[in-house]
Amino acid sequence: MLLGRVIGTVVPAVLVDELSATPLLWVQPLSRDGKAEGEPLVCADGTRMAGPGQIIYWVASREAALALDPWFVPVDDAIVGLVDEVRLYAPEELA
C-alpha cells in the first residue's frame, strides 16, 4: 500500500453495474513525507468516506478489487483506509 491525497472526483455517466455504488476519486500518490510522487490515478473508494483533501492509503491490481464490496469488480486501484496520522521516526530514533 502507498499513501495518497484525494484531489478530485470522477463522475461517470455510464458505468459497469458492479461499480455503480462505488465512488471514483482522483488520487495523487505521495511519498512517505507527504510530497506528490508520480502521476495522479483514479481510485475506487472502498471506504466510501474519502473526499478531496483527504490523505488515504491505496492498493493496486487484484488487491484493489478485494478492497471493494462487491469485490469481484474491474478496478486497478482502490482506497483501503483514511489516514489520521503518519508517524515517521526521526533519524536518531532509527539508529
Partner 1 sequence: MILGRITGSVVSTIHHPIVDGRKLLVAERLDQRGRPGGGYLIAFDAIGAGQGETVLILDEGNGARQILDDASAPVRSIVVAIVDHVDLETN
Q: Which stretch binds partner 1 (CB under 8 A): 7-15, 20-28, 77-85?
A: 77-85
39 binds partner 1 (CB under 8 A): no
Show the cell assigned to 12. Answer: 461517470
Residue count, binding to partner 1 (CB under 8 A): 32
3 binds partner 1 (CB under 8 A): yes
Q: Which of 16, 71, 74, 76 binds partner 1 (CB under 8 A)?
A: 71
Phi then psi dihedrals of residue 87, to 5 deg: -95, 115
Closer residue to partner 1 (CB): 13 or 80: 80
Q: Which of 44, 67, 73, 77 binds partner 1 (CB under 8 A)?
A: 67
